[in-house]
């Protein structure tokens, strides 16, 4: 079995090399990167709260060896055997690069906003370290954060609060000019477990945009640029009607915007705007922008008028409007929606998405089926990954892709049904079925770390 697997993988790898090898100049060196075979591989599952698939019942984790994760005859049952991460709702997990430490910020609840570290010792032996740090005072009890890819040194948490009109308050005769909130950008030292810096400011848009009622509703998914001197933060835009204060659901969207701040000072916020897409670029519960090998940052968009796009931010920290990657066009679908994605190296990324023709989920008719595609950012192409798709495959809350050398690990379980770990070889495109994931009704697996 194993030798056959290796042979297949090898063959696919060679084939892929032969066909694509010479084309890519900037992104791909195409040398095989070997995975770490000694590390722990942690699987996370979300329990349902009141409704199937809502993921609001909390998060459980379980760690297995490299071999077990890859063994299709092995079974992992995180819901019966796992360790409960201390978070009221779905935990916001990230892991250290070596897989030995799990980082968590509890989401809502008495300890919402509390950052803690767990050492991974295999099975359900996770030990919470003594020291915790709370960012709740700065970023609230349901904070949005991401780990920078800087060797597990830094996490950045962001927040926008108290969006109000400039003329708020009884008796104000001032004319309306803008809705603005107070933004917080905070750096967390993941090693020392302390807050290492923070800044709070208003981030204005252009005068015209603000007069129409556009405002930065949320910040999320920060990423560090190649030079290491700027952090680029995704945004979620909102428009309110200045005459009523009501949030509008149907409005002419502005171009996708990101906020660029100096690093490590976190000062000098600047807004950059894309002319390619008009979606938001805040992602959901996980990363949404990645620094690629070519020195550019690639950012996914959501809720735009023409489906999801992948945008490029160049080394000058500006949108590169000559780069156009529409997932709709690449896959021949309409109103694609990137739910979660991960850059895997060599210009290749894996994208979880849904679109207009997605089947309605059976666990909740308001939800719909998700898919997984392998995306070549250089060539601008995308191909659906061969997986056992079914209507209840639901990646909307998906958080964790483990990139281990050329291998990308994903947990593929429809809500309420068993599934498997799949190991995707980013270089070759090969798909390998790994350990079986035992599920329970209403629950789903949300990540591998």
Span 67-86, contacts to other proteins by CB under 8 A: 79, 84, 86
Using CB under 8 A, pick the residue from 123, 140, 255, 405 that binds other proteins.
140
As measured in angstroms, the least distance from the Cβ of 435 to other proteins is 21
Of the two residues 60 and 408, which places its CB atom closer to other proteins in the complex?
60
Q: How many residues bind other proteins (CB under 8 A)?
A: 88
> Is residue 130 at the binding interface for other proteins, with CB under 8 A as the rule?
no
Query: Between 258 and 297, how does the x/- string for binding to other proteins read (CB under 8 A)?
Result: ----------------------x-----------------
Distance (Å, whole) CA 429 – CA 373: 10
Query: Between 357 and 386, how does the x/- string for binding to other proteins read (CB under 8 A)?
Result: -----xxxxxxx------------------
Sheet of strand 75-76: strand arrangement: 75-76, 431-437, 419-425, 407-412, 402-404
> Is residue 135 at the binding interface for other proteins, with CB under 8 A as the rule?
yes
Planar angle of CA 11, 15, 16, nearest 5 degrees: 115
Of the two residues 367 and 407, which places its CB atom closer to other proteins in the complex?
367
| Segment interacting with other proteins, rule: CB under 8 A, options 65-73, 109-117, 202-210, 265-273 | 109-117
Residues 319-338 that bind other proteins (CB under 8 A): none
Distance (Å, whole) CA 311 – CA 304: 12
Of the two residues 412 and 423, which places its CB atom closer to other proteins in the complex?
412
Q: How far apart are the first and last CA of the chain?
A: 26
> Is residue 49 at the binding interface for other proteins, with CB under 8 A as the rule?
yes
> Is residue 245 at the binding interface for other proteins, with CB under 8 A as the rule?
yes
Cis peptide before 212 (omega within 30 of 0): no
Query: For residue 433, which of 405, 412, 402 has the smallest C-alpha distance?
Result: 412
Question: Token pair for residue 190?
Answer: 């993941």
Provide the 10 A C-beta neighbour count for residue 31: 10
Of the two residues 111 and 432, which places its CB atom closer to other proteins in the complex?
111
Contact 302/395 with Cβ under 8 angstroms? no
> Is residue 169 at the binding interface for other proteins, with CB under 8 A as the rule?
yes
> Is residue 58 at the binding interface for other proteins, with CB under 8 A as the rule?
yes
> Is residue 139 at the binding interface for other proteins, with CB under 8 A as the rule?
yes
List beta partners, residue 298: 290, 312
Residues 6 or more apart whose Cβ sits within 8 Å of residue 380:
324, 325, 330
Of the two residues 128 and 315, which places its CB atom closer to other proteins in the complex?
128
As measured in angstroms, the least distance from the Cβ of 109 to other proteins is 7
Provide the 10 A C-beta neighbour count for residue 154: 22
């Amino acid at each position: 079995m194993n030798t056959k697997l290796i042979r297949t993988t090898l063959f696919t790898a060679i084939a892929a090399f032969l066909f694509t090898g010479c084309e890519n100049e900037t992104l791909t060196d195409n040398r095989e990167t070997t995975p770490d075979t000694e590390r722990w591989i942690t699987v996370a599952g979300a329990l349902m709260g009141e409704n199937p698939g809502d993921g609001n019942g909390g998060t459980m984790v379980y760690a297995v060896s490299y071999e077990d994760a890859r063994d299709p005859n092995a079974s992992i049952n995180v819901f019966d055997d796992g360790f409960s991460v201390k978070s009221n709702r779905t935990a916001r997990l990230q892991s250290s690069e070596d897989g030995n430490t799990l980082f968590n910020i509890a989401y809502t609840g008495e300890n919402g906003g509390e950052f803690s570290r767990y050492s991974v010792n295999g099975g359900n032996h996770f030990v919470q370290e003594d020291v915790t740090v709370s960012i709740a005072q700065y970023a609230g009890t349901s904070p949005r954060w991401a780990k920078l890819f800087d060797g597990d040194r830094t996490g950045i948490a962001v927040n926008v609060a108290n969006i109000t009109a400039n003329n708020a308050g009884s008796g104000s005769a001032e004319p309306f000019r803008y809705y603005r909130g107070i933004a917080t950008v905070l750096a967390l030292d993941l090693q020392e477990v302390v807050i290492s810096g923070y800044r709070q400011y208003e981030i204005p848009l252009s005068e015209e945009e603000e007069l129409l009622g556009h405002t930065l509703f949320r910040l999320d998914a920060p990423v560090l640029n190649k030079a290491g001197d700027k952090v680029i933060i995704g945004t979620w835009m909102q428009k309110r009607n200045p005459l009523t204060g009501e949030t509008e659901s149907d409005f002419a969207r502005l171009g996708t915007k990101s906020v660029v701040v100096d690093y490590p000072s976190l000062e000098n916020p600047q807004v950059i705007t894309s002319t390619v897409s008009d979606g938001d670029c805040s992602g959901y519960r996980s990363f949404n922008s990645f620094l690629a090998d070519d020195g550019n940052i690639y950012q996914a968009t959501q809720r735009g008028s023409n489906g999801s796009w992948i945008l490029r931010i160049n080394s000058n920290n500006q949108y590169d409007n000559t780069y156009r990657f529409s997932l709709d066009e690449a896959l021949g679908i309409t109103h694609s929606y990137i739910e979660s994605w991960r850059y895997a190296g060599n210009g290749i990324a894996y994208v979880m998405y849904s679109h207009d023709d997605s089947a309605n989920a059976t666990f909740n008719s308001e939800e719909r089926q998700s898919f997984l595609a392998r995306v070549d950012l250089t060539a601008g192409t995308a191909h659906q990954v061969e997986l056992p798709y079914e209507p209840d495959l639901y990646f909307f809350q998906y958080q964790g892709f483990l990139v281990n050398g050329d291998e990308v690990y994903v947990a593929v379980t429809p809500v309420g049904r068993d599934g498997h770990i799949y190991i995707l070889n980013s270089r070759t495109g090969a798909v390998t079925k790994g350990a079986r994931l035992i599920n329970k009704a209403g629950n789903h697996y949300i990540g591998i770390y």
